[in-house]
Amino acid sequence: MAFSSMPLSLSFNYNVGISLLVTMVCLVVTGLLSVFFYSPSLDMAFSLLVANESYFHGLLRVFHNNLANLLFVFLFAHIVRSWFLSNSSHTFVLLTGLAIFFLACGVAFLGYCLPIGQLSFWACIVILNLLTVLPYGTTLVIAILGDYSICSRTVGLFLTLHYLLPFAVLGLVVLHFHFLHSTLSAQGLDSYNTSFTPYFLNLDVFVVCLFFLFLSVFVLRSHFYFFESVNWVHWSSTTTPTHIKPDWFFLFAYACLRAVDSKLVGVLYMVAILLLLFVPYVFSPWPYSQLAGCFFLASYLCLFFWGNSVVFATFNCLILAVTFAILATVLFFLVYLAIREMALNENFSLSTKCY
């Protein structure tokens, strides 16, 4: 990669990827160090993390939590950037990006459950209950829990998966980089290329230094900004929190889950809205894609906002209206693709006849 050719049109918009990579590596390092201070026990996990937390472990936990939230900030920025600035919809780049996103969501959920605070405990129960919509879903949930409720075996399983899955994510990131640079899919409209070193290498180093500076200032000044106050309360299986909600990066999917009464329809709705995140990338080389990207961005921002709010009278109608508008945009591009292919085939047949 150090000697690969890069487009001259690259700007700071393309440094989100290197910020993502650095954040992932820092998350793995802080996570590996945090394992030494954690006990996979239902009774001891909360006490060790909150009540008997040492200074070094507390600092590690704060860095790890803030890095996880920054990872999703960069991840969403990277996805939105691909809506507007990508000039190619390479299949393997898209598939590896999808896999990275869904695996990162899974790792984030597992990490969210590990403190076993009041909110973590009930969020784990709510999310695992969604699996009951699958055939033999109840049996699957009991197999994951190891009991009819959360127990020490569940915590141990979550810790193991939370420890191993980030390495799979890093492997997918390597594949993502390989497919991206082998096809130059991020090239844009500029056909003039230059060497990666020294200009782009120095630019990446500068961005990484800015990232560490921002992280240090943010952690020192607002270290508990992303922590939920309810999660500092010891878990109780008899008392539920007043308002159970996920971390901010799951709010748009959570809004869709709450918009319908049926659990099965809600789960399908949530998965569909997650997959629709990547549709504008496929449409990015086409005309009107910039307008569609702006529309998608406004729609998902509305879903984020409504996911964080309490359910109100017109909540379901607003969520469904935004979703139908997104689907209408997708349908427009599918019809446009069909008309374009028909026109190309007709022109090809006419030119063949003339020949």
Q: How far is Cα 268 from Cα 274, in angstroms, rounded to an integer? A: 10
pLDDT for position 302: 81
pLDDT for position 90: 73
| Residue 153: count of CB within 10 angstroms of its CB | 14
Backbone angles phi, psi at 195, to 5 degrees: -70, 150
Strand partners of residue 117: 234
In 3D space, the residue among 82, 106, 123, 79 whose CA is nearest the CA of residue 165 turns out to be 106
pLDDT for position 158: 92
Structural domains counted in the chain: 1
In 3D space, the residue among 246, 248, 325 whose CA is nearest the CA of residue 75 turns out to be 248
CA dihedral sign of residues 254, 258, 260, 261 = positive
pLDDT for position 199: 62
Q: Is 5 helix (H, G, I), strand (E, B) or coil?
A: strand
Instruction: Let me know: does 86 contact 185? Beta carbons within 8 Å.
Output: yes
In 3D space, the residue among 188, 196, 185, 177 whose CA is nearest the CA of residue 4 turns out to be 196
Q: Which residues of 237-265 are buried (b: 16+ CB within 10 A; e: fewer)?
A: eeeebeeebbbebbbbbbbbbbbbeeeee
Q: How far is Cα 138 from Cα 231, in angstroms, rounded to an integer? A: 27
Q: How far is Cα 109 from Cα 131, in angstroms, rounded to an integer? A: 14
| Residue 150: count of CB within 10 angstroms of its CB | 23
Q: Which domain holds residue 50?
A: 5-354
pLDDT for position 350: 42
Q: What is the CATH number of the domain that holds 67?
A: 1.20.810.10
User: What stretch of H or E contains 330?
Assistant: helix 315-354
User: What pTM did the predictor assign?
Assistant: 0.80
Per-residue confidence in pLDDT tens, the chain, 355 aa: 444 555 555 555 667 777 888 888 889 999 888 888 888 888 787 877 766 556 777 788 888 888 999 899 888 888 888 777 765 557 788 888 889 999 999 999 998 888 888 888 888 888 888 888 888 888 999 888 888 888 888 888 999 999 899 999 989 988 888 887 776 554 444 455 555 566 666 777 887 888 888 888 888 887 788 888 788 888 888 888 877 778 888 888 888 888 777 888 888 888 888 888 877 777 666 666 677 777 778 888 888 887 777 766 666 677 777 777 777 666 766 666 666 666 555 554 444 444 4
pLDDT for position 36: 84
Rounded to 5, what percent of the chain is helix, strand, coil? Answer: 75, 0, 25
| Residue 127: count of CB within 10 angstroms of its CB | 15
Instruction: Let me know: does 71 contact 104? Beta carbons within 8 Å.
Output: yes
Instruction: Let me know: does 328 contact 292? Beta carbons within 8 Å.
Output: no
Residue written as token pair 């729609």? 299
Q: How far is Cα 236 from Cα 228, in angstroms, rounded to an integer? A: 16
pLDDT for position 194: 56
Asked if the peptide bond before residue 198 counts as cis, ω within 30 degrees of 0, the response is yes
